[in-house]
Structure 1
Amino acid sequence: MTIRDFLIALLVPLTWGFGFALAKSGLEHFPPLLLMGMRFGIAALILVWFVPIPRRHLVTLFFIAFVSATMQYGLTFSGLARMDATPAILLVQSEVIFGVVIGALLLGEKPNLRQFLGIIIALIGIIILIGGPALSNKVFGIILVLSGCLIWAFGQVLIRKYTSGLTGFQLTAWVGVMASPQMFLASFFVEGNPLPFLLAAPLSAWGTVIYLGIVMTVVGYSAWYYVLGRYPVPVVMPLQMLLPVSTILGAVTFLGERPDPIVFAGGIVVIIGVGVVIIEPSILRKWRQNSLK
């Protein structure tokens, strides 16, 4: 990977990580579904003009958006609203674990021994996190975040199975087109009238909305699809292990969080387990050999 592409790749965990921390701040002014509806609405308005309409996939994308965006982000960010950003982002790493399990059940992609070992390690880390003081009396928040991770994994299976032929930008744009009105409607019925939240929000809260819509979604996903189209998945995926690092840095810097030692201990175990699952040694060795030629 060239230095230029590596710097572009670093935009992914940085924009997503800081975005997760800032979203925690935004949840102090907007309820979760309303905040995510605005995020996806902004991203859709920017991207939709540059990609063709996926006419054959519109109905499918409606249901995929409902599962992988409306339900998933509604659950995950409702959980985030009930706990600190640091333990929340570490729990979110269970998406990888759920992804492997759902892939095995629905796609027949059985995990190998290395991945199975990584799952066990990551689960131990999650147990350490849940047992720590940072998540004490936050059972409902934990359930919401982990449920969101499970729904995310199921949504990725739907995307892989039913969106063949669509580009990453089409998916990002049109999932946003479909998900944003779903989220606004769900917010109205679940969270109440949005007008009081919109009128009372300070400029800093609107800055968070703009960051989530433009930087985290448009810039972050553009960088993600750029490097994903040029390098093997096992080379790109390990960069996601930097996501908890950037989120914790953002939480400490912007939110004043001070994670306790158990959070760090459990987080390190989770990240090690996720690394064992997603890092493919043979492909990395082959890529490294080719890069030295």
Structure 2
Amino acid sequence: MTRLPPADIARAVLVALIWGMGFVVAKGATEHFPPILLQAFRFAVTAAVMAVFLRSPGRGNLPWLLAVSLIGATIQYSLTFSGVHRLSAGIAALVIQLEVPFLVLLGALLLGERPKPRHWVGIALAFAGVAFIAGNIRFDGAWAALAMMMGGAFSWALGQVMIRKLRGISGRVITAWVAVLATPQLFLASLLFEDGQAAAIAGAGPDVWAAVAYLGLIMTALGYYLWNSLLVRHEVGRVAPFLLLLPVFSVLGGVLFLGEVLSPPQLIGGALVLSGVGLMLIEGKEPQRVAA
């Protein structure tokens, strides 16, 4: 089996840390900013710093970049962080782990990758864990938030599969293009689906803008640069399981910085999700390919 080089393993773990803590930062910021508006500012910051890396996308890549920005950024972040606004950072990070099963499923359907039996067992465990979490919450908007998170996880996975269609373009250039294309889309989505933007902007303090800076510079610019660099070199099923570490960092951050506490049913459901994703981390040999 060809394993990831140690440097790429370190990058994958760092992505999990950056994104895991991003849920904690975003959860605090959505108490002030409407969630879609927060993401619009986040991508505006990313676009501003990454614009210098804009290059010609190459022949045939621009339509895929437009699709990735719409599905894997605008729709995904609108759904995901609208859900984060209604859930704890720890629970949100556990549910978003459905990105990995969705990646494996879409890799099989769209890229011709062939999941092993343990992958199917892992997928079943992950979805069972989310179902367990959903069955032990009161209907106070949390079910709708869970549905948003699941929709965001699917949109994200579909966007990452689309990135595999890009050719001759670096992770840094992909990140720059997606940020530039997604920024106006997110501001438009906020205008259509949210209100109170003017008051939120006028009342934002330094801590809120610091959160925007983290989300734009660290979580998006640095995080997606590292992630896209991994995706263009390795199969999605090879690098995606490292996101198993993301909720670990989010839960710890939620406990330390937000005072969150997970209930026993949530811990059980989270353990099922992580167990399922963990099964997909075990690899015996290179995945076989079939014709797409």
| TM-score relative to the length of structure 2 | 0.86
Residue 43 in structure 1 maps to residue 46 in structure 2 = yes
Deviation of 1:60 (Å) = 3.4
The aligned amino acid for 1:269 is L
Instruction: Give me the whole-angstrom Cα distance separating, in 2, the residues matched to 1:6 and 1:58.
Output: 30
Residue 103 in structure 1 maps to residue 113 in structure 2 = no
- Larger CA deviation: 55-64 vs 179-188: 55-64
- Aligned residues of 1:83 and 1:141 also touching (Cα < 8 A): yes
Q: Residues 18 and 118 from structure 1, CA distance in 2 versus in 1: closer, same or farther, beyond 3 angstroms?
A: same
Residue of 137, 153, 160 corresponding to 2:157:
153
For each residue in 1:128-183, what CA deviation from the matched residue of structure 2 results, as whole angstroms up to 9, or x when unmatched?
Answer: 2212248875111111111111222222232223x222211111110000001110
Q: Residues 136 and 273 from structure 1, CA distance in 2 versus in 1: closer, same or farther, beyond 3 angstroms?
A: farther
Instruction: Give me the whole-angstrom Cα distance separating, in 2, the residues matched to 1:134 and 1:277.
Output: 31
Deviation of 1:222 (Å) = 3.5
Q: Residues 230 and 114 from structure 1, CA distance in 2 versus in 1: closer, same or farther, beyond 3 angstroms?
A: same
Residue 273 in structure 1 maps to residue 282 in structure 2 = no
Deviation of 1:271 (Å) = 0.9
Q: Which residue of 1 aligns with 2:195?
A: 192
SS of residue matched to 1:281: coil
Q: Which stretches in structure 1 are left out of the alignment for 5+ residues? A: 284-293
- Larger CA deviation: 169-178 vs 93-102: 93-102
The aligned amino acid for 2:48 is L
Q: Residues 113 and 169 from structure 1, CA distance in 2 versus in 1: closer, same or farther, beyond 3 angstroms?
A: same
Q: Residues 14 and 39 from structure 1, CA distance in 2 versus in 1: closer, same or farther, beyond 3 angstroms?
A: same
Residue of 244, 248, 251 corresponding to 2:251:
248
Residue of 146, 161, 174 corresponding to 1:171:
174
Q: Which residue of 2 aligns with 1:28?
A: 31
Instruction: Give me the whole-angstrom Cα distance separating, in 1, the residues matched to 2:20 and 2:181.
Output: 25
In the TM superposition, 1:1-80 aligns within 5 A as 8-54=11-57, 56=59, 57-80=61-84
Q: Which residue of 2 aligns with 1:289?
A: none
SS of residue matched to 1:125: helix
Residue of 160, 181, 186 corresponding to 1:183:
186
- Larger CA deviation: 178-187 vs 103-112: 103-112
Q: Which residue of 1 aligns with 2:130?
A: 126
SS of residue matched to 1:53: coil
The aligned amino acid for 1:157 is V
- Aligned residues of 1:80 and 1:141 also touching (Cα < 8 A): yes
Q: CA RMSD in A?
A: 2.6
Q: Residues 237 and 60 from structure 1, CA distance in 2 versus in 1: closer, same or farther, beyond 3 angstroms?
A: closer
Q: Residues 211 and 76 from structure 1, CA distance in 2 versus in 1: closer, same or farther, beyond 3 angstroms?
A: same
- State, as a whole percentage, how many aligned pairs show the same letter: 42
Q: Residues 19 and 181 from structure 1, CA distance in 2 versus in 1: closer, same or farther, beyond 3 angstroms?
A: same
Q: Which residue of 1 aligns with 2:289?
A: none
Deviation of 1:255 (Å) = 1.1
The aligned amino acid for 1:253 is L
The aligned amino acid for 1:256 is G
Point out the structure with the larger helix share. Answer: 1
Q: Which stretches in structure 2 are left out of the alignment for 5+ residues? A: 287-292
The aligned amino acid for 2:223 is G
Q: Residues 47 and 135 from structure 1, CA distance in 2 versus in 1: closer, same or farther, beyond 3 angstroms?
A: farther
Instruction: Give me the whole-angstrom Cα distance separating, in 1, the residues matched to 2:279 and 2:91.
Output: 20
Instruction: Give me the whole-angstrom Cα distance separating, in 2, the residues matched to 1:35 and 1:148.
Output: 16
- Aligned residues of 1:235 and 1:279 also touching (Cα < 8 A): no
Deviation of 1:208 (Å) = 0.5
Instruction: Give me the whole-angstrom Cα distance separating, in 2, the residues matched to 1:135 and 1:242.
Output: 29
| TM-score relative to the length of structure 1 | 0.86
Residue of 253, 259, 262 corresponding to 1:259:
262
Q: Residues 241 and 177 from structure 1, CA distance in 2 versus in 1: closer, same or farther, beyond 3 angstroms?
A: same
Instruction: Give me the whole-angstrom Cα distance separating, in 1, the residues matched to 2:209 and 2:284.
Output: 43
